[in-house]
Amino acid sequence: MTVSGVLGALLLTSCSLIGTGDDDSAADPSTGTSGGAEAGGPVVLVTHDSFSLPKKLVKQFEADTGYELELRSNGDAGSMTSQLVLNVDNPLGDVAFGVDNTFAGRALEAGVFAPYRGEWPAGVEDFALPGDDEGVLTPVDNGDVCVNIDTAWFDAEGLEPPQTLEDLTDPAYEDLFVTSGATTSSPGFAFLLATIAAYGEDWPTYWEDLLDNGAKVVPGWEDAYFVDFTAGGGGARPIVLSYDSSPAFTTTDDGSETTTAALLETCFEQVEYVGVLAGAENPAGAQAVVDWMLTPEVQAALPNSMYVFPVVDGVELPEAWAEFAPRPEEPLAVDAAEIDENRDAWLTEWQDLVSR
């Protein structure tokens, strides 16, 4: 009895409980009493930990629809997909954003999503997932994983910079390339897929050549870019795996030029999707979120919030992006179903190559 008494008293003074209580009541003074609760209620958006959108947009969404948007995130895109698949019978939320084309096959196969297709503005169709016959996934954003180079470094050294995947195995560029691992990072896996798209069954030979030429493999994109890349954090390697948007972040102080460039022949396209979860408690709210992701406001906010390009045509890009982040015309691609089928075999073989 004393124990439960003490426990009760402690629960009353609990910081977390009181703290979140405050947050909730502060967040929805407008929706709480307005009577919109009947049509609204909470809608839970499951996403990865890179998700970010301006608070103002979220507030606007809640005011317009009467729903309360609750975010739930657990790890990166891969981790999120795994959790969605594990919890398929009792979904973690109503709607999920952030499953990309390299993981979509796994989610589709497990039946994570329920069919829903809203109004798609012009341009979205181009990014629809091939093989999504039921129409469960809606494209939201895209970006290309490309090899980047420190142009300033190559100028200073008087060395002709590389251009293609093949060039990276050229002894002229020995010990100059750093990439993140396919087993530990999503861009790393995209790069492996790029080489598979380019070399087909011979990709292991390409990787052997690449590793023989001193390519360095580190766990995460941030390790590669901020520790090893010459233009990122003062590392020692002028060639790095990153994104086609990265050069927009390495502009000179006056903003007149950028000091890095993406090699547009080495790019693999990543598309991120949103979808209503099968068994959602609030399917109407989930559909509202899917539609909201394609609104001009959200699409325009994507570059600055999540470092990705919008899928809707005609959305204005930030200045630096428009100027310094040219995009590949025909990025390399591998079919989602094929990825799903071979993922384990590819990753196992890749891992063996790298740890040999």
Partner 1 sequence: MTSYGGSGARRLAGLAALAVVPTAVLGVFFVLPVTGMVSRGFVTDGALDLGGVLEVLGRPRTRRVLWFTVWSSAVATTIAVLLGLPAAYATHRLRWPGRRVVRACLLVPFVLPTVVVGVAFRQLLGEAGPLGFLGLDGTARAIIAGLVFFNVAVVVRGVGAAWESLDARPGEAAAALGASPAQVFRTVTWPQLRPAVVSSASVVFLFCATAFGVVLTLGGLRYASVETEIYLLTVQRLDLQAAAALSVVQLLAVTVLLLLAARLRAVPDATVTRRAPAPRRPRRVDTVPLVLTALVLAFVAMPVLALVTGSLRPDDSWSLEAYRALSGRGSAPGQGGTALLVPVTEALVTSLRTAVDATWMALLLGGLLALLLTRRSRSRTERRVRSVLDGLFMLPLGVSAVTLGFGFLITLDEPPLDLRDSPLLIPLAQALVALPLVVRTLVPVLSGVDDRLRQAAASLGAGPVRTLVTVDLPVVWKPLLAAGGFAFAVSLGEFGATSFLARPDDPTLPVVIFRLIGRPGPLNDEMAMAASVVLAGTTALVMLLVERLRVPSVGAL
Residues 176-215 that bind partner 1 (CB under 8 A): 181, 183-184
Tell me: does residue 6 bind partner 1 (CB under 8 A).
yes
- Listed as own residue / partner, the contacts of 341-345 with beta carbons closer than 8 Å and 24 or more positions apart are 341/105, 343/105, 343/106
Cα atoms found within 13 Å of the Cα of residue 50, Cβ hemisphere only: 20
Rounded-to-integer distance, Cα 107 and Cα 80, Å: 10
Binding flags for partner 1, 105-144, as an x/- string (CB under 8 A): -x--------------------------------------
Token match 């990543």: residue? Answer: 270
Tell me: does residue 235 bind partner 1 (CB under 8 A).
yes
One-letter amino acid at 304 equals: N
Token match 């570059």: residue? Answer: 303
86 phi/psi in degrees, rounded to 5: -65, -35
Tell me: does residue 74 bind partner 1 (CB under 8 A).
yes
Tell me: does residue 216 bind partner 1 (CB under 8 A).
yes
Q: Which stretch binds partner 1 (CB under 8 A): 28-36, 117-125, 241-249, 331-339?
A: 241-249
Tell me: does residue 237 bind partner 1 (CB under 8 A).
yes
Tell me: does residue 78 bind partner 1 (CB under 8 A).
yes
Q: Which stretch binds partner 1 (CB under 8 A): 46-54, 122-130, 151-159, 277-285?
A: 46-54
Degrees to nearest 5, angle at CA 270 with 127 and 298: 65
Q: Which stretch binds partner 1 (CB under 8 A): 129-137, 142-150, 201-209, 341-349?
A: 341-349
Binding to partner 1, residues 250-289 (CB under 8 A): 251
| Burial class for 192, CB neighbours closer than 10 Å (0-12, 13-18, 19+) | buried
Q: What's the token pair of residue 237?
A: 């390697």
Tell me: does residue 156 bind partner 1 (CB under 8 A).
no
Which of 41, 59, 72, 128 touches partner 1 by CB under 8 A? Answer: 72
Nearer to partner 1, 32 or 219 (CB): 219
